[in-house]
Amino acid sequence: MSTTEAPADTGTNGNGASGYRWVGTRPVRHDGLDKVAGKARYAADLNLPGMLYGHILRSPHPHARIVSIDTSAAEAMPGVKAVVTGADFPEAPPKGATRNLMCTVIARDTVLYSGHAVAAVAASTRREAKAAAEAIEVTYELLPHVLNISDAMADDAPVLHDNLFTRGVEPRPTEPSNIAARTVYERGDVEQGFAEADIVIEREFSTQAVHQGYIEPHACVVDCDQEGKAVIWASSQGHFMVRSSTATVLGWDTSRIKVIPAEIGGGFGGKTTIYIEPVAALLSTKAGRPVKIVMSREDVFRATGPAPGAIIKMKVGARNDGTITTAKAWLAYENGAFQGIAAMLGCMCVVSAYTLDHLYVEGFDVVLNRPVNVAYRAPSAPAAAFAMDSVVDEIAERVGMDPIDLRLHNCPSQGDPTPYGPKWPMIGLRECLEAIRDSDHYQSDLPAGQGRGVATGFWFNIGEASSATVNLNENGTATVITGSPDIGGSRASMALMAAEELGIDPHSIQPVVGDTEVVGFTDVTEGSRATFATGMAVVEACRDLKEQLRKRAAKTWDCDVEEVEWVDGSAVHGPGEQEPLTLAAITGNAKRTGGPLGATASLNARGAGPAFSVQVADVSVDQETGRVTVERYTTAQDAGTAIHPSYVEGQMQGGVVQGIGWALNEEYIYSDDGNLENPGFLDYRIPVASDLPMIETCIVEVPNPSHPYGVRGVGEVGIVPPLPVMANAIADATGVRIGDLPLSPPRVLAALTAAES
């Protein structure tokens, strides 16, 4: 366990925890100085000779048929070199994920949300491109729109897709609707569970759609040559994803496209898809020049992925001893303009932190006239936890039990069934609950007038495909090339794992994010997978190298390789007849022992370790204005093993902060005509630094047996508990439970006023 005291750079001492020399230390990140000094290159920083600027024209309507597009005036404007519309792109299939991607990048015959891309211009200057895009004449036939779940699910709702029939309903519906899918998970008999309960609590909750709020807007530069090859510089969570998605949208062969990753200025899931690269590619192809597109903040809010809002109805039964006997949940999640799996994920997460013999969980994925959902840290889990952990808190209050003790009493362990089927592997929920229970925060008396709330969060984490190449240099240093962009300190983590394997200082390792032509295929960074899966590839490549190093030593010593061990960065002769050979000595002599040393590993990482987090907050509530102040906040999270504790803490704190924003103030405000009224950070209120106390961290380490160092992903689960933590703390402070987010001053004051009267 560690705290958030400012950590020293312990990387040079080699004093890792758990018996490791480097894993668990805190070296300064390799990319840190450039980022602090403003030298790091983001996609928008790149300028090429002859480069044009692209501007995308977006729909001012939430739902309309495109009757015609006249680009002639735009094409005649000064500086204009190319204009494209949906008609310039390959035809989209009638339905499915490919259609959704293609039609998100550019609308075909129908616009499905205000901000939907309709056409684009490339011109010599930004100003010319914008002026020309605004001169494109689009004739729309307006269609009725729906912006919230209740309206979209209504029988008489305007239907977005006339070929969308609800999946998961028997018999298959004969009429299309906005309900894309129904998902059910059940076990036991919920009615029996309610019969066994002493108390039953039934509540309804709603959460708002929120944006990931990354500071860097989407940006790319695309240069297409005469032979039809494209080079793309882009900010994303996975450049192989950019390559394959761009190829899909354009109908191009993947091998025509090379993607060079730029530094990424925040993604949080929002950059696991593309919006602008195929548009820039077509403009570049038409104009014969490189094209840069940089979204404005307004574009980002209007046209890129929100995390969905949800409506959740919970009914939970418990006995007076705190045993939860059953839970029944009804969940409906926004999907945005195209169908997704938000509700399905919500169904899988909603009761995951509890052992239940009887459960029935039913979810509905609903399309409506908003941008399509994109992942946001532990997608769908926060709303689900908000519902369940609010009710659990009420149960603890009703049965007079400490809320942590009640959760420990109902805590699943390895071998118990998950709500969605398989058995739990080794998990650290119990340890996280105990860490919070034993924390200085929870053991401290609550200051007068404040309220305290606790809650749990779960996220699956995933593995997927990763590749790494490790090259040993002649001076004994190493270059580690991976295909995962460095979003949260992964260069440092990769270097630490390589350092541990090879036995050299992490500062002797140069971690590199390789482009799509220098490193093997690597899936997009999602599911908190980079340190787990890409780290696994790095370790595998290093272990291959250690074999090679032992063979080189054996060759040098003219002995059997079995007599050579690799210890602390040196080949050691088991029988002790030779002086050890350092890694630098072997690489310096490599030409004479068989040539340069390098290794590559490509793998599908199996056995991702589920993540749990438990958090506690103290808040004060201004009873006259409804303003909530977070006074103290502590988060415990199971990291498996913290490779670089500073960046684990950073992920934990970042998730908490984003969750607090979701809980307290973030919301999309749409006008009646379906336009977003707050497409900027002034009125879309993410927290600022002065809003928050230091987020105290307890790293819990229950190693994941599937990873060589026990790593679990840490990037996502931290955002899950803050929604119920805030609601529970406010309830404790005021005696009033609020089931609708955000818990903004007007909402809280209205609830307090209503409770008084």
Partner 1 sequence: MKYAAPTTIDEARALLAADGDAIVFAGATDVVPQMRGGRPEPSMVVDLKKIDRLMSVSLDGDTWSVGAAVPTSVLTADAVFTADFPGLSEAAGLIGSDQIQNRCSLGGNLCNASPAADSVPALVVNDAIAVIAGGGGERRVPVAEVVTGPGQTSLAHDEIVVCFELARPAAGTSDAYLRLIPRTEMDIAVVGAGVRLTLDGDGAVSAATVALGAVAPTVVRVPAAEAALAGSSLDDAALAAAAAAASDACNPIDDKRGTIDYRRQVAGVLTRRAAGIAADRIRTRNGQQGDS
Burial of 255 (0-12, 13-18, 19+ CB in 10 A): exposed
- Among residues 88, 565, 691, 740, the one that binds partner 1 under rule CB under 8 A: 691
**Integer Cα distance of 460 and 470 in angstroms:** 29
What is the footprint of partner 1 within residues 334-393 (CB under 8 A)? none
Helix spans in 503-605 (H): 535-557, 583-588, 590-593
Stretch that binds partner 1, among 312-320, 568-576, 673-681, 699-707 (CB under 8 A): 673-681
Residue 556 DSSP one-character state:
H
Quickly tell me which residue has 């004060």 as its tokens. 620
518, 483 contact by CB (below 8 A): no
| CA 87/CA 385 separation, integer angstroms | 44
| Region near partner 1 per CB under 8 A, out of 103-111, 202-210, 252-260, 620-628 | 620-628
Q: Shortest gap between Cβ of 146 and partner 1 (angstroms)?
A: 21
Task: Output the smallest distance, CB 615 to partner 1, in A.
Answer: 21
Question: Does 678 help bind partner 1 (rule: CB under 8 A)?
Answer: yes
Specify the stretch interacting with partner 1 by CB under 8 A; choose among 87-95, 207-215, 639-647, 742-750.
742-750
Minimum Å distance from CB 689 to partner 1? 9
Q: Per-residue x/- marks for partner 1, 633-672, CB under 8 A?
A: -------------------------------xx---x---
Kind and range of the H or E run holding 510: strand 509-513
Contact between 189 and partner 1 per CB under 8 A: no
Between CA 113 and CA 513 the distance in angstroms is: 35
Stretch of 51-59, 319-327, 555-563, 685-693 lying at the interface with partner 1 (CB under 8 A): 685-693
Single residue of 131, 545, 744, 751 touching partner 1 by CB under 8 A: 744
Give me the catalytic one of 394, 540, 667, 716: 716
Site membership for partner 1, residue 745 (CB under 8 A): yes
Stretch that binds partner 1, among 455-463, 530-538, 625-633, 644-652 (CB under 8 A): 625-633
Please check whether residue 481 is in contact with residue 756, taking contact to mean a CB–CB distance below 8 angstroms.
no
Give me the least distance between CB of 69 and partner 1, in Å please. 22
One of 346, 382, 503, 687 touching partner 1 (CB under 8 A): 687
For 507, the 3-state DSSP assignment is: helix
| Residue 688 binds partner 1 (CB under 8 A) | yes
According to the binding rule CB under 8 A, does residue 114 interact with partner 1?
no
Residues in the chain: 757
413: exposed, middle or buried (Cβ count in 10 Å: 0-12, 13-18, 19+):
exposed
Give the shortest CB-216-to-partner 1 separation in angstroms.
17
Tokens representing 634?
């502590």
Active site residue 716: yes
Q: What is the DSSP letter of 640?
A: S
Cβ atoms of 504 and 497 within 8 Å: the answer is no
Measured between alpha carbons, how far is residue 414 from residues 63, 411, 456 in Å? 48, 10, 17
Question: For partner 1, which is the closer residue by CB, 13 or 671?
Answer: 671
**SS3 assignment for 221-259:** EEEECCCCCEEEEECCCCHHHHHHHHHHHHCCCHHHEEE
Using the minimum distance from each CB to partner 1, give the nearer residue, 130 or 256: 130
Strand order in the sheet with 478-482: 509-513, 478-482, 464-472, 598-605
State the sign of the Cα–Cα–Cα–Cα dihedral 398, 402, 404, 410.
negative
Site size for partner 1, by CB under 8 A?
26
Per-residue interface string for the shown chain with partner 1, residues 269-298, x marking contact by CB under 8 A? ---------------------------x-x
Per CB under 8 A, does 184 bind partner 1? Answer: no
Q: Does 749 bind partner 1 (CB under 8 A)?
A: yes
Q: Which is nearer to partner 1, 449 or 680 (CB)?
A: 680
Say if residues 319 and 325 touch (Cβ distance below 8 Å): yes
By CB under 8 A, is residue 690 in contact with partner 1? Answer: yes
Which of 688, 693, 695, 720 has its CA nearest to residue 215?
688
> Residue 85, class by beta-carbon neighbours within 10 Å (0-12 exposed, 13-18 middle, 19+ buried)?
buried
The answer to whether 757 contacts partner 1 (rule: CB under 8 A) is: no
Part in contact with partner 1 (CB under 8 A); list of ranges 315-323, 330-338, 543-551, 622-630: 622-630
Is residue 624 a contact point for partner 1 (CB under 8 A)? yes
Q: Which residues bind partner 1 (CB under 8 A)?
A: 296, 298, 624-627, 664-665, 669, 677-678, 680-683, 685, 687-688, 690-691, 744-746, 749-750, 753
Catalytic residues: 716
